[in-house]
Structures are given as structure tokens and as C-alpha cells.
């Protein structure tokens, strides 16, 4: 496996590297999934690529297979958490959409009713 692309000041790159503690619930060769510290549902896990991409669009353009791997990892997390059929996946892309860490991450939310439209 090649050395992941990282950004020294990126929180999620530091979590992937093990330099910042996180409750990791699942990992693959290309992804790491850990609990969100500001959970919005009983199950709220972030799935990130090991390589640094700023947002979902950049990841899709730069490594489409990694985008698919994020979704596969999210499904595995939802199943392991007891929600194989009812969960929400969310990418926030850009500050105006609520992205606060500019390393692609997929939110996995489950364990409560999730209204539509989201807030």
C-alpha cells in the first residue's frame, strides 16, 4: 500500500494516523470509521478516506473507487450497529452546507426517526 496523501493540519488526517484519539469502529485498507464527538443520533459515525481530499466532489474526481468504498464501509457500520435497513448517509460539501473539517467524510446516522427535509 502506498503512503496516504495527508495534510499536516487536518484533524481527520491526524485521526487516521493515530495521532489524535478517536473511537474507531471499523477500518479498511482505504477507510476509517469513528464515532462523531457531536452525535446527532444514537448511531453517528464518520467514515473518512485514509487519503486527504477536501470534500466529496474532490474525492469522486480524484479516486472514484474510494468514494464507493466509503459507502460500502458505511453500510458495514450501519449493519454492525444494528441498523442494516434504516440509516442515513450525508456528505456536507462546503462551509455553507455545514462542512467544518475539510477532509471528505460521510456521516452515518441511525437509531432514531430521521425527518425529511433535514434541518
Task: Point out the catalytic residue in the list 83, 103, 105, 107.
Answer: 105
Q: Which helix (H) or strand (E) holds 75?
A: helix 64-80
Instruction: Please give the radius of gyration of the chain, using alpha carbons only, rounded to the nearest integer.
Output: 14
* Distance of alpha carbon 71 from alpha carbon 89, whole angstroms: 8
Clarify whether 105 is annotated catalytic: yes
Residues annotated as catalytic are 105
Amino acid at each position: 500500500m502506498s503512503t496516504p496523501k495527508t495534510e499536516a493540519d487536518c484533524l481527520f488526517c491526524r485521526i487516521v494516523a493515530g495521532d489524535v484519539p478517536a473511537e474507531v469502529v471499523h477500518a479498511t485498507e482505504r477507510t476509517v470509521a469513528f464515532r462523531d464527538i457531536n452525535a446527532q443520533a444514537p448511531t453517528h459515525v464518520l467514515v473518512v478516506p485514509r487519503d486527504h481530499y477536501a470534500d466529496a466532489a474532490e474525492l469522486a474526481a480524484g479516486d472514484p473507487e474510494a468514494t464507493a468504498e466509503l459507502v460500502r464501509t458505511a453500510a458495514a457500520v450501519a449493519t454492525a450497529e444494528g441498523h442494516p435497513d434504516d440509516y442515513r448517509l450525508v456528505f456536507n460539501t462546503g462551509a455553507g452546507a455545514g462542512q467544518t473539517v475539510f477532509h471528505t467524510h460521510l456521516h452515518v446516522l441511525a437509531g432514531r426517526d430521521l425527518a425529511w427535509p433535514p434541518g
